[in-house]
Amino acid sequence: MTESTISQDPPAASTPSSAKKTPAAGSWGDLLGPAHLAAALVLAGGVALYAMNVYVTAALLPSAIGEIGGAEYYAWVATSFLTASVVASMLVNRLLSSLGPSRAYLTAFLIFGAGALINALSPNMELFLVGRIIQGIGGGLLTGLGFAVIRTALPARLWTRAAGLVSAMWGVGNLIGPALGGLFAQFGLWRWAFGLLVAAALVLAFLSRKALPHNSESHLKHPPLPLLSLVLLTLAAAIFSVTSVLPKGIWTVLGIVAGVLLMAGFIWRERVAKATVLPKLSYLKGNSLKWIYLSLAALSAGAMTESFIPLFGQELGGMIPLLAGFLGAALSVGWTVAQLFSVNLSTDASKRVVRLAGPLVLAAGLASYGLLQQAGAGPWLVVLWAIILFVAGAGIGSAFPHFSVAAMSSTDDEDEGQKAAAGISTTQLIANAVASALAGILVSLGAPSMIDSARLMSFGIAAVALIGFGTAIASVRGSRRSQLTSAEK
């Protein structure tokens, strides 16, 4: 395989690489018009279902434990779901090529719905955890398909807007999920919330049969599953997650070291193996895809602060739980709003600017939030927190769709391109698992001081975002070199 050209915009498939032209950007009216609306709803709906489920479950869990017991498994509810999601997201490309977009989505929605149904009917926490694992498998497939199917379900001119719509669903889920979960919990109807997820999954499964292509490549011989890579990455995700709930001290150090070593083992295995989780392009010298993935991971890590911001709002700002929840959603609101505007950018120069500025804005916002933490914060300071978090989220939203399209258009090879697109969600879920665990570790290290916990978490994730700024520089430089090389041919 030769080294592929990476450009900021999708290549026109009908022209040779030396004469590729940037396709005209489609409009929101085009994406959400009669021709593409159903496909857009399925792509966005799958990710929204995953995101809402995460926050709905977090809001409902105390009520569920109060009825069925199992408080000792509290941390495993999130860990089991997230670990299963990471593993399933790595299998998206194989499922897609075997079944085609329509049946792949049908399978993912039905698996997710089956897990939600088990949750709704669970008489004890052990069975509830089984349901969470099954939901995680379906959810991991849905998040991966959301990006991977954009290439085949929509024309190239709509890729940027579709990527923006799909990734915006994480913000939408953070807005709707806590409110929906809180509403059902308030009336003691936590089982009905999972029933609602079942119904939504069935509706979207039906829609996917009509909205998406049915073609598959099941006749092709698939390479063997990258089992060792999957095992190493699964263990790393699980260890990072468990470390966040272990007693701080030597166990924290051992957990972090073990997780880092397993991640290093995963990267080594990927570089030498024939069958890989991420595209081979990720490991080619001079190719920008690895820097694109790392930049996406840094942006995704920033969103994991939302899990703890409501806690800081209550403890340091004296906010009631409902208002504290809205404070936590400020970052997601910024993400969603900025994304709606960012996808309108049409020039390569403007896209490069937001790819560079996004991680930097996120880092500056989180660092500023950490600096402004104090006990007994008054209303005006709380408002300032919300504004800063909104700006930090805007850094994510402005850059995320353009990094996503850069990954999707990193090669002309259809199989590798599909793998590169599926890798976006795999990267995001891995980053979520690791960053969520890192945030939990930093909060634990700051205890019992809530101010120290808030600052350590904010500064730690801001440092990750700064690393993302460095990888963004590398990705943009690599993209420009590839464009110049292509133009000279």
- What pLDDT, on the 0 to 100 scale, is given for residue 9? 40
Of 251, 253, 131, 265, nearest to 190 (Cα)? Answer: 131
Q: What's the token pair of residue 17? A: 């690489």
Note whether 418 and 148 are within 8 A (CB): yes
Please give the single-letter amino acid code of residue 353: V
DSSP string over 156-187: GGGHHHHHHHHHHHHHHHHHHHHHHHHHHHHT
Residue 408, pLDDT > 50, answer yes
- What pLDDT, on the 0 to 100 scale, is given for residue 104? 92
Domain boundaries, the chain: 27-214, 226-274, 286-489
Residue 21, pLDDT > 60, answer no
Q: Do domains 27-214 and 286-489 have the same CATH topology?
A: yes
- Give, as one character, the DSSP assignment of residue 245: T
Whole-number Å distance between alpha carbons of 308 and 325 = 10
Q: pLDDT (tens digit, 9 = 90+) per residue, 330-379?
A: 888 898 888 888 888 878 888 899 999 999 999 999 999 999 999 888 88
Tell me if the pTM is above 0.85. no
Q: pLDDT (tens digit, 9 = 90+) per residue, 140-161?
A: 999 888 888 887 888 878 888 8
- What pLDDT, on the 0 to 100 scale, is given for residue 339? 83
- Region 106-112 average pLDDT: 95
- What percent of the chain is helix, strand and coil (3-state, nearest 5)? 80, 0, 20
Secondary structure class of 222 (helix, strand, coil): coil
Q: pLDDT (tens digit, 9 = 90+) per residue, 27-52?
A: 778 888 888 888 889 999 998 998 88
Residue 2 buriedness (CB in 10 A; 0-12 / 13-18 / 19+):
exposed
**Cis before 448 (ω within 30):** yes
Whole-number Å distance between alpha carbons of 423 and 294 = 11
Residue 6, pLDDT > 50, answer no
- Give, as one character, the DSSP assignment of residue 18: G
- pLDDT > 90 fraction of the chain, expressed in percent and rounded: 28
Considering only the top CATH level, what class is 27-214? mainly alpha
CATH code given to domain 286-489: 1.20.1250.20
